[in-house]
């Protein structure tokens, strides 16, 4: 069985890991660059990804065509370019999560409703829900500075990357509790019962391996996990949606916090999923290009139709 917490291993010094160490060294070097340079380099990295990674670009083209049918081809093309540029900036800003001083992250971040969240955490058991964004790592780091919380982490297939991700996320708070996803939900439930806020990313579809229902998300019936409602019900927790937005001109982040979901969870898993998707969509529409459109969110459909990612994108011919 794999250990719950990743550890440094001497094999990480073997030649097969040298390429990763080189990338990490270059990533760390971005901390010494002016912020405007980091934003420009991130945009260039995103442009390179868009041109060279045909699979990711194809996914994003399909998703944007399905979710924004009201936009013409040129407008969706602009959103596609903007998305990959924000994707590249988000990757470079992993350096701040891994190595930057607390004061630097604080200086680049604005907490919307920080006082409200601190008081809400004190008076309630709370699940803070986020969806996959290009800014997701910064979201978790910002929340950890309000109050030590518990968060779930997917184990990366590369052990060196996995160790760096774990170490970087843990350093955001001396009392941060990271739970590997393969440990299940019980550690998260125990954290909630102990009064610790939990940060949960809840928009990934695990197919038949997890309970889910189809609920509208940007107008598309989307396989949505029911875990948030089940966890909130079992622990008596309130649910708060959040999303973080990067202003590329200033290089600053803003954490937007939605209102706590009312009458949640209800008695119907589908209605809970609809309410959660609606709340998250409202936040994500503030900067829609910063949602992770390069993923295959709509591979499953309620009527069993083939995955749209294997078909020509609806109404789109642009590269």
In the prediction, which pLDDT does 311 show? 63
What pLDDT score does 207 carry? 61
Tokens 């008076």, residue? 123
Positive or negative CA dihedral for 293, 299, 301, 307? positive
Q: What is the pLDDT along the chain (319 residues), one digit of tens a residue?
A: 445 678 899 999 999 999 999 999 999 999 999 999 999 999 999 999 999 999 999 999 999 999 999 999 999 999 999 999 999 999 999 999 889 888 888 899 998 888 888 888 888 899 999 999 999 989 888 888 888 888 888 888 899 999 998 888 887 766 788 888 888 889 999 999 998 999 999 888 766 555 889 999 999 999 998 999 999 999 999 999 999 999 999 999 999 999 999 999 998 999 999 999 999 999 999 999 999 999 999 998 888 888 899 866 555 544 4
Only one residue has tokens 């040298």, namely 18
- pTM score over 0.85: yes
CB 80 within 8 A of CB 64: yes
162-201 pLDDT, tens digit per residue, is 999 888 888 776 678 888 888 888 999 999 999 899 999 9
84, 290 in Cβ contact below 8 A?
Answer: no
- Which of helix, strand or coil describes residue 128? strand
- Note the pLDDT of residue 174: 64
Contact assessment for residue 208 and residue 181, using Cβ atoms and an 8 Å cutoff: no
Residue 242: name the closest of 143, 147, 172 by CA: 143
State the Cα angle at 90 between 88 and 92, rounded to 5°. Answer: 75
Buried b (16+ CB within 10 A) or exposed e, 215-226: bebbebebbbbb
pLDDT score at 84: 98
pLDDT of amino acid 112: 84
């Amino acid at each position: 069985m794999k250990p719950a917490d990743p550890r440094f291993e001497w094999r990480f010094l073997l030649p097969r890991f040298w390429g990763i160490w080189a990338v990490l060294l270059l990533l760390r070097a971005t901390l010494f660059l002016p912020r405007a340079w980091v934003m420009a380099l991130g945009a260039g990295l995103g442009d390179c990804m868009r041109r060279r990674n045909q699979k990711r670009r194809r996914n994003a083209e399909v998703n944007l065509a399905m979710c924004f049918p009201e936009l013409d081809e040129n407008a969706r093309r602009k959103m596609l370019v903007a998305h990959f540029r924000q994707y590249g900036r988000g990757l470079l800003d992993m350096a701040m999560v891994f190595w930057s001083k607390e004061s630097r992250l604080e200086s680049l971040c604005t907490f919307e409703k920080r006082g409200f969240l601190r008081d809400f955490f004190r008076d309630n058991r709370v699940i803070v829900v986020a969806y996959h964004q290009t800014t997701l790592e910064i979201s978790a780091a910002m929340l950890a500075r309000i109050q030590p919380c518990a968060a779930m982490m997917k184990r990366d297939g590369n052990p060196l990357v996995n160790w760096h991700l774990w170490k970087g996320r843990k350093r955001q708070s001396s009392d941060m509790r990271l739970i590997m996803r393969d440990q299940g939900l019980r550690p998260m439930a125990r954290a909630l019962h102990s009064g610790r806020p939990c940060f949960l990313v809840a928009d990934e579809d695990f197919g038949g391996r997890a309970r889910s229902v189809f609920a509208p998300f940007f107008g598309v019936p989307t396989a949505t996990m029911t875990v948030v409602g089940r966890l909130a019900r079992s622990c008596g927790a309130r649910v708060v949606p959040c999303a973080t937005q990067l202003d590329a001109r200033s290089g600053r982040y803003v954490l937007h916090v939605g209102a706590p979901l009312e009458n949640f969870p209800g008695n119907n898993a589908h209605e809970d999923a609809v309410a959660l998707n609606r709340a998250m969509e409202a936040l994500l529409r503030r900067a829609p290009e910063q949602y992770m459109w390069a993923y295959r969110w709509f591979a499953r459909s309620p009527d069993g139709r083939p995955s749209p990612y294997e078909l020509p994108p609806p109404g789109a011919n642009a590269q």
